[in-house]
Amino acid sequence: MMRTVPSLLLAALLAAALPAVAAEPAADGAASVHGDFGPPMGAPIHAVLTSPPNVPPPVHRFYPAKVIVDLEVREVEKEISEGVRYTFWTFGGTVPGSFIRVRQGDTVEFHLKNHPDSKMPHNIDLHGVTGPGGGAASSFTAPGHESQFTFKALNQGIYVYHCATAPVGMHVANGMYGLILVEPPEGFTPVDHEYYVMQGDFYTVGKYREKGLQPFDMQRAIDERPTYVLFNGSEGSLIGDKALKVKVGETVRLFVGNGGPNLVSSFHVIGAIFDKVWFEGGTHFQENVQTTLIPAGGAAIMEFHAQVPGSYVLVDHALFRAFNKGALGILKVDGPENKAIYSGKEVDSVYLGDKAVSDQKAVAAATTAAAHGKLTQAEQIRAGETLFAGTCSVCHQPTGEGLEGVFPPLAKSDFLMADLKRAITIVLNGLTGPVVVNGKTFNSVMPPMSQLNDDEIANILTYVRNSWGNQDAQVSAAEVAEIRKSTKRPAGAAH
């Protein structure tokens, strides 16, 4: 890209003369067209096109230029879901097609090439083009040929492009759509990551996840009964190692389009709130948005910042599409936890609902006291009794007697009282094999009870070791935590 000094100077002068959002008449005195900043300057630029989910770098230019876009149409057989193949018709070999990025006022020289192996003719309608058919009439291209047309990007925004060859619905259903971004003259504020996501609905003769090469089903498309609703053309496109990656503290901008052909998207990122949404891809933004509507043939821009690590799921919130048709993607945020914003699970207590034998007041009181560091043995015993009744008494009996020959007793149990640490370990990790309690051998299975949290186990053990003739001190949650940390849970047990 070579620019001579004089043309740079001229560009600088013009940029200084024009406000960032132009409404001035053009230099030759003709009536101003919104977004027409005059003829292109400098050497022609070959547009950098990217495949999803990547976005080309910002334009970083302060003058209108001639931008040459070379886009190839290819009919490609690829996986739409694991073991399921589909013949996609694509712009640039991907669904959605390559992302195009220009600046408002640019003169775009568009070359559409149709690969010689294509069966069908194709064309392109870019929603950002002011002109008949959005360019479709001028780009109708037979296989093995190339068409060229030129347009000026008069309006800023994020626009869908798609094939408009008859039958349009079928060409779009086969994946012929993408996004073109026309940056405002002043560009966007910098963010750490920009990503490109586009939803589409797909119609196959076979059922969801039925294996093999699936043909397009015209009747399902007419009836608007998709088999798949996907981001970026395949079920695994944004999952696993293809998940979008961001670090804690970074800002993200998503360019999200909806190619359709039929469905409107209720776009939501589980666990995130969009700080700003340029709804419908227009000039104004809404703030603090949970779910935004993206019409078929439309797009939106959203920004948010990553504060808490974890996997954030991109969905179409019309939920059966997310969970039964594949409209699901992952944005993975890595980095240090921030408990002040999100703690993770704090209390997991047994909820008996209307099945509670006694009311849960004792447990609640104990929890409150523990939080204040003032938990008394009496409070623990009362809480432990309630918890024992719901969980342990089934086997060990409400009287602590156990079952002759099957479940060992806890009442006056020498085995229980001899070793507190062992008792905690058994509650957490279970026990299999013979034990001798009060002179009798029991050979049974006690399942791990690690789903109880440290407070609950401490309260239960305090109760058990202070009931039915047993006498001991308090068992603290810290002691339980210590054993939980230093021993391993058996397979399948909770944390």
Partner 1 sequence: MRAGPSLALCALLAVHGGAAAAAERAPVPGGEFTPVVAPGKDVKRVAVAAFALDRRPVTNAEFLAFVRERPAWRKGAAPALLADGQYLRHWAGPAELGAGAGPEQPVTHVSWFAARAYCAAAGGRLPTWYEWEYVAAADETRADARQDPAFRERILAWYALPSGRPLPPVGKTPANVYGVQDLHGVIWEWVEDFGGLMVSGDSRTQGDPDKLQFCGAGALSAEIRDDYPILMRIALLSSLEANFTTANLGFRCAYGAPP
Q: Which residues bind partner 1 (CB under 8 A)?
A: 75-77, 86-87, 116-121, 123, 125, 132-133, 136-145, 164-168, 170, 205, 213, 215-219, 222
Q: How many helices (H) and strands (E) does the chain have?
A: 11, 23
CB closer to partner 1, 87 vs 476: 87
Q: Which residues contact 153 (CB under 8 A, 6 or more apart)?
A: 35, 102, 103, 104, 105, 106, 107, 108, 128, 129, 182
Q: How far apart are CA 212 and CA 155, in angstroms?
A: 44
CB closer to partner 1, 127 vs 268: 127
Task: State the nearest-atom distance from the C-beta of 50 to partner 1, in Å.
Answer: 24
Q: How far is CA 485 from CA 346, 347, 416, 450, 482, in A?
A: 17, 17, 21, 12, 5
Distance of CA 17 to the CA centre of its chain: 44
CB closer to partner 1, 147 vs 155: 147
CB closer to partner 1, 75 vs 379: 75
DSSP 8-state secondary structure symbol assigned to residue 279: G
CB closer to partner 1, 191 vs 218: 218
Task: State the nearest-atom distance from the C-beta of 130 to partner 1, in Å.
Answer: 15
Beta strands per DSSP E along 132-273? 145-152, 157-162, 177-183, 193-202, 212-214, 228-231, 244-247, 251-260, 265-270
CB closer to partner 1, 216 vs 285: 216
Q: How far apart are CA 88 and CA 192, in angstroms?
A: 32
Task: State the nearest-atom distance from the C-beta of 234 to partner 1, in Å.
Answer: 16
Burial of residue 346 (CB within 10 Å: 0-12, 13-18, 19+) is: exposed
CB closer to partner 1, 177 vs 312: 177
Task: State the nearest-atom distance from the C-beta of 4 to partner 1, in Å.
Answer: 38
CB closer to partner 1, 214 vs 386: 214
CB closer to partner 1, 73 vs 313: 73
Task: State the nearest-atom distance from the C-beta of 220 to partner 1, in Å.
Answer: 11
Distance of CA 71 to the CA centre of its chain: 29
Task: State the nearest-atom distance from the C-beta of 143 to partner 1, in Å.
Answer: 4
Task: State the nearest-atom distance from the C-beta of 132 to partner 1, in Å.
Answer: 7
Task: State the nearest-atom distance from the C-beta of 206 to partner 1, in Å.
Answer: 12
* CA torsion angle 299 305 310 311 (round to 10): 0
Alpha helices in 58-143 (DSSP H): none
Which tokens is 365 given? 């009181």
CB closer to partner 1, 122 vs 253: 122
CB closer to partner 1, 87 vs 360: 87
Task: State the nearest-atom distance from the C-beta of 80 to partner 1, in Å.
Answer: 12
Q: How far is CA 190 from CA 62, 208, 273, 303, in A?
A: 16, 40, 19, 11
Task: State the nearest-atom distance from the C-beta of 146 to partner 1, in Å.
Answer: 12
Q: Find the helix packing angle between 377-391 and 361-371, rounded to 10°.
A: 130
Q: How far apart are CA 340 and CA 332, in angstroms?
A: 20
Task: State the nearest-atom distance from the C-beta of 58 to partner 1, in Å.
Answer: 32
- Are the beta carbons of 64 and 40 closer than 8 angstroms? yes
Distance of CA 407 to the CA centre of its chain: 48
Which residue, among 118, 128, 113, has the nearest Cα to 159 in the 3D structure?
128
